[in-house]
Amino acid sequence: MSKIRAAITGVEGYLPDYVLTNQELETIVDTSDEWITTRTGIKERRILKGEGKGTSVMASAAVKGLLEKTGTKAEEIDLIICATVTPDMVFPSTANLVSAEVGAVNAFSYDISAACSGFIYALTTGSQFIESGLYRKVIVIGADKMSSIIDYEDRTTCIIFGDGAGAVLLEPTTEEVGIMDSIHKSDGNGAEFLQMKAGGSRYPASHETVDNRWHYARQDGATVFKFAVTNMADYAAKIMERNSLSSDEVAWLVPHQANKRIIDATANRMGLTDEKVMMNISRYGNTTSGTIPLLLWDYESQLKKGDNLILAAFGGGFTWGAIYVKWAYGAN
C-alpha cells in the first residue's frame, strides 16, 4: 500500500485593514524610513484595531475563507491547530475559540506556542494526524496580534512586528506530493534573548509588572539575528541535503519574514536566486506565526503541482526548523 501523506489542499489569509507605515512610526519613536528599510526591508505592517478584538478574529476570518474556497463544510473538520504567542486569553486556547466561531462542531482543537516557528511546528504536528490515517481534514493556522505585546516606545521592536493570520487545509493523498520531510529544533537557553517576561505563572500581572513594562516582547536583536542567520540557513540546507535536492530542483524558499537580511543569507546558503524566494516583509513586517501561511497565500497563484518548497523559520525559544513540501495543486 502506498504511503499516506498530508497534502496542503488550500490556503487563505487575513490581514487587518489598518496600515502602520514607516512614516507614521517616525512620528512615534526616534527612527527613520531609511533605517527601517535598509536594516529590515519593512515599509509597512497591518494592525488589528478595535476594543476586545483578539487573534481569534483574524484566525477565524482566515478559516472561514479557507472553508469557502475549498468547498469544505465546517462540520467535516477533524482538528484545528492554531500556532500563536498572542492567544486571546491564557485559556481557553485560541483554536477552541476559532472552532466555535466557524462552527467546527466535530473538531478538537488546541494551540501551539513556538513563536516565529509556530506555524512550521504546527504543520508538522497536523500532518502526523493525517499520515497516521487517524484524520482526514486538519486545519493549521498561524496567527498573531503582535501589536498587543509590542511596546510602541521601543524602537528596536515596534518597527518590526505586525498583525495577521493564515491557515491551510491538510488532507490525505497517496500521490508523491504533500509534506515530505521536516526537521525541527529548540533551545530554551535562548529565552533570555527574546521573551515576554510577565503575564505567565512566573510573573503574573501586577502593578509592578505593568510599571516595569514587562508585558511587552523584548529582544536582544543582534544576538537573535546571529542565531537566526546561522540556524535558518543550516536547517534549510540540511533538509535539501537529506532529500538530495539541488538548488535547481527547489522551486521556492518560503522563509519566515523577520528581516530581509536573514532571508537573503538563507537563500544565498541554498544557492537560490531572488526570484525563487517568497517575500512580503515590506508590506506586512513580521507577523510571527502568520508569515509562512501568508506567503503561501500571496504566492498561491504562482505555485504549480509538484513544485518543491522549503519552508524555514527561526524564532523565540529559541525554536527553528525547515519543512520540505511538494505542492499538491495548481497547473502542472
- Write out the catalytic residue numbers: 116, 256, 286
For ligand UT7, give the closer residue by CB, 82 or 292.
292
For position 31 contacting ligand UT7 by CB under 6 A, the verdict is yes
- Provide the 8-state DSSP code for 301: G
Say how far apart CA 111 and CA 81 lie, in whole Å. Answer: 6
Which residue, 118, 230, 244, 267, is CA-closest to 180?
244
| Least gap, CB of 191 to ligand UT7 (angstroms) | 13
Does 138 bind ligand UT7 (CB under 6 A)? Our answer is: no
Name which of residues 144 to 203 contact ligand UT7 (CB under 6 A).
155-156, 159
Task: Provide φ and ψ at 318, rounded to 5°.
Answer: -70, 155
Residue 193 CB, shortest distance to ligand UT7, in Å, is 9
| Residues 16 and 47: beta-carbon distance below 8 Å | yes
Task: Report, in Å, the least distance between residue 262 CB and ligand UT7.
Answer: 6
Residue 117 · residue 235 · CB < 8 Å? no
Nearer to ligand UT7, 60 or 286 (CB): 286
35 near ligand UT7, judged by CB under 6 A: yes
b/e for 192-209, b at 16 or more Cβ within 10 A?
ebbbbbbeeeeeeeeeee
Binding of residue 60 to ligand UT7 (CB under 6 A) = no
Which residue has its beta carbon closest to ligand UT7?
221
User: 151 — phi, psi (to 5°)?
Assistant: -90, 110
Number of residues that bind ligand UT7 (CB under 6 A): 19
Question: What is the DSSP code string of 263-292?
Answer: HHHHHHHHT--GGGB---HHHH-B-GGGHH
**Cell triple for 318:** 529559541
67 or 83: CB nearest ligand UT7: 83
Quick one: which of 225, 284, 320, 327 contacts ligand UT7 (CB under 6 A)?
Answer: 225
80 binds ligand UT7 (CB under 6 A): no
Q: Which stretch binds ligand UT7 (CB under 6 A): 31-39, 65-73, 75-83, 273-281?
A: 31-39
What x-and-dash track marks residues 275-294 binding ligand UT7 by CB under 6 A? -----------x--------
Nearer to ligand UT7, 156 or 243 (CB): 156
Which of residues 224 and 295 has its CB atom nearest to ligand UT7 in the complex? Answer: 224
**Residue ranges in 5-93 assigned as alpha helix (H):** 22-26, 33-40, 55-70
Helix (H) or strand (E) holding 154: none
Cα distance between residue 7 and residue 130, in whole Å: 9
Residue 222 to residue 21: CA distance in whole angstroms? 23
- Of 39, 43, 53, 276, the one binding ligand UT7 by CB under 6 A: 39
Residue of 222, 244, 274, 332 that binds ligand UT7 (CB under 6 A): 222
Q: Count how many Cα atoms sit within 13 Å of the Cα of residue 179 in the half-sphere of its side chain.
A: 28
Judged by beta carbon, residue 226 or residue 242, the one nearer ligand UT7 is: 226
Q: Which residues bind ligand UT7 (CB under 6 A)?
A: 31, 35-36, 39-40, 116, 155-156, 159, 221-222, 224-225, 228, 258-259, 262, 286, 315
